[in-house]
Structures are given as C-alpha cells and as structure tokens.
C-alpha cells in the first residue's frame, strides 16, 4: 500500500479557486483523490480547473449547508473535507466595528463549523469513516497588530480542531489542522509587490530564508488525509519555515 495514496477517496476543498486552497486541491488530485473545487467566483474568473467546481458564497445564509448538499450530490461517497475558505477583513483598530468583526467570524469560524459539523453528521449517518483538515494559521498562537478578528477566528479554528477530533474519533473520522505562516497568495501578494523592503525583511527573518508558497501546504494536506496519518487526530501541523520556532528574529543584515 502506498502510504500517501488517496486513490478511491473523494474530497471537497473549500476556497480552492486560488492560493493555498487551489494548491491543496491540486495536490489531492495528484495523490489520486477525486476532488471538488469551490470558490465564490464564477468559474470563468478563476484559475483553470479540470474538476467539478461549485460556486457558493459561504457568507450567505445556508451557504455552507448548500455547498455540502451540492458536493454530496456530485460525489455521494465524499470522505475528505478540507475547510480552507477564509479571508482578512480587519481595518485598523480604531476603525473596527461590530460589522467587520462579525463578517470575519462568519466566514473564518462559523462557516467551517457548519461545514465540518454537517460533514461529520453525514458520514456518521452513512456509517463511513473519513478525514477533515481545517486550515487555520500561525496567527492562532502569534498575533499581529490590527488583526483582532482574524487572530480570534484562527485561534477558534485551532480549538475547533481539537474538539471535533474528540467528538468524531469514535466514528473513525480524523480531524487535523494546518497552520500556514506567511504564504504568498493573492491576499498577501498586493503588499509584497508594493513593499519589497518588508518582503526582504521577512525573507531574512524566516529561518528557511523565504516566504512560503501555496504549494508548501499541498503535501502537508495530502499527508493528513492519507493512510500515513491514520493514527493522527487533533493535531495542528505548522507550515511556516521555522518562524514560530524562534523568539526574536536575527538583526537586520
């Protein structure tokens, strides 16, 4: 048996129209899984996808539930879920409002809860095992200025990984998480292109000497979904080039 093969498995990856989610979905496909991609954009607006794609806004009422229904309609034996969809909406601290807080929590925390809960219930009813990967962030344990809602949502996801892992273990459903550090995605690429001085600082500060790429998260997700991780649940795998392993970065060159 190939420990990392996902042949015969069926996956849904949320937020997989671009960035980290896109790389994870492609990695699952490369490992043999039949994979459903998802995004809020129209299919004509996204990176090329040669697999089923569901357009669904997770911020609208019943959006997460409808996404699951459509995914199971496409693939009734769905047994892998990667909850990746999320974003950053925080304004500067003094401009923070209840509305901006609620939007972040709705997308980054409530939608993953509804997806994982609904997915778990469906598998339990069908008597099937499976695996879940929740994409959190190193912001779950290391905060940034002007990021209170984002950081709180990612901290909540880390707790959710542990709680869901305990709730679903007896049903043969494993739940783990990924905690990416600074990754070059469409969300971060804007300031990376306009502030090369900051990018140079991060390249110098990160022990492995560079900012992460979306593909750095793909192999980790495959591992957590695969037979190689069959005795791992409730764990959060950090993908940050060693950034959180150090207390204070090296002095400027």
pLDDT attached to residue 39: 96
Among 113, 150, 202, 231, which one carries the catalytic annotation?
A: 150
Residue 250 confidence (pLDDT) above 70: yes
Query: pLDDT-derived band of residue 164, with 50, 70 and 90 as boundaries?
Result: very high
| Residue found under tokens 């809020």 | 40
Q: What is the pLDDT of residues 186-241, one digit of tens each?
A: 878 777 888 888 888 888 899 999 999 999 999 999 999 999 999 999 999 999 99
Chain segment 11-42, per-residue pLDDT in tens: 999 999 999 999 999 999 999 999 999 999 88
89-125: pLDDT as tens digits: 999 999 999 999 999 999 999 999 999 999 999 999 9
What's the N-to-C CA distance of the chain in angstroms?
A: 48
- Spell out the CATH class of 10-183+215-243: alpha beta
Given this model, what pLDDT does residue 77 score? 97
What CA–CA distances, in Å, run from 44 to 12, 34, 60, 225?
Answer: 20, 21, 21, 29
Rounded mean pLDDT, 174-196: 88
Strand arrangement, sheet containing 10-13: 53-55, 34-39, 10-13, 80-83, 130-135, 173-180, 236-239
pLDDT tens-digit map of 30-86: 999 999 999 998 877 776 568 999 999 999 999 999 999 999 999 999 999 999 999
Q: Which of the four pLDDT bands, split at 50, 70 and 90, describes residue 253?
A: low
Reply yes or no on whether the pLDDT at 249 is more than 80. Answer: no
- What tokens were used for 185? 């995605």
Q: Which token pair is 248? A: 């204070």
Mean pLDDT of the chain: 94
The residue among 45 and 9 whose pLDDT is bigger is 9
Q: Could you give the CA distance from residue 198 to residue 205 in angstroms, rounded to a whole number?
A: 10
**What residue spans of the chain are helical by DSSP H?**
19-30, 63-74, 98-105, 111-126, 148-168, 186-194, 196-205, 215-225
Q: What is the DSSP string of 160-198?
A: HHHHHHHHHGGGTEEEEEEEE-SB--HHHHHHHHH-HHH
Q: Confirm whether 113 is a catalytic residue.
A: no
pLDDT digits (tens, 9 = 90+) for 122-142: 999 999 999 999 999 999 999
Higher pLDDT, 253 or 123: 123
**CA nearest to 233, candidates 151, 155, 134:** 134
Q: How far apart are CA 253 and CA 248, in angstroms?
A: 15
Residue ranges of domains in the chain: 10-183+215-243
Asked if pLDDT for residue 252 goes beyond 80, the answer is no
What is residue 115's three-state secondary structure?
Answer: helix
Cβ count within 10 A of residue 141: 15
Q: How confident is residue 251, by pLDDT bands cut at 50, 70 and 90?
A: confident
């Amino acid at each position: 048996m190939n420990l990392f093969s996902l042949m015969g498995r069926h996956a849904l990856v949320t937020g997989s129209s671009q960035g980290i989610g896109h790389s994870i979905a492609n990695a699952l496909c490369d490992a043999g899984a039949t994979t459903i991609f998802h995004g809020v954009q129209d299919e004509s607006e996204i990176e090329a996808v040669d697999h089923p794609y569901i357009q669904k806004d997770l911020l609208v009422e019943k959006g997460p539930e409808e996404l699951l229904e459509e995914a199971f309609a496409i693939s009734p034996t769905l047994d892998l879920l990667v909850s990746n969809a999320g974003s950053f909406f925080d304004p500067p601290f003094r401009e923070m409002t209840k509305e901006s807080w609620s939007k972040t929590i709705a997308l980054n925390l409530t939608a993953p809860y509804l997806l994982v809960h609904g997915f778990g219930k469906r598998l339990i009813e069908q008597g099937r095992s499976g695996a879940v990967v929740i994409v959190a962030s190193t912001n779950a344990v290391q905060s940034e200025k002007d990021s209170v809602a984002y950081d709180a949502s990612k901290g909540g996801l880390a707790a959710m990984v542990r709680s869901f892992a305990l709730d679903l273990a007896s049903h043969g459903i494993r739940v783990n998480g990924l905690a990416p550090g600074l990754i070059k995605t469409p969300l971060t690429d804007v300031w990376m292109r306009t502030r090369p001085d900051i990018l140079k600082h991060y390249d110098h500060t990160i022990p492995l000497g560079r900012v992460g790429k979306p593909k750095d998260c793909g192999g980790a997700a495959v591992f957590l979904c695969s037979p190689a991780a069959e005795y791992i649940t409730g764990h959060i795998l950090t993908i940050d080039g060693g950034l959180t392993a150090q207390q204070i970065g090296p002095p400027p060159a």
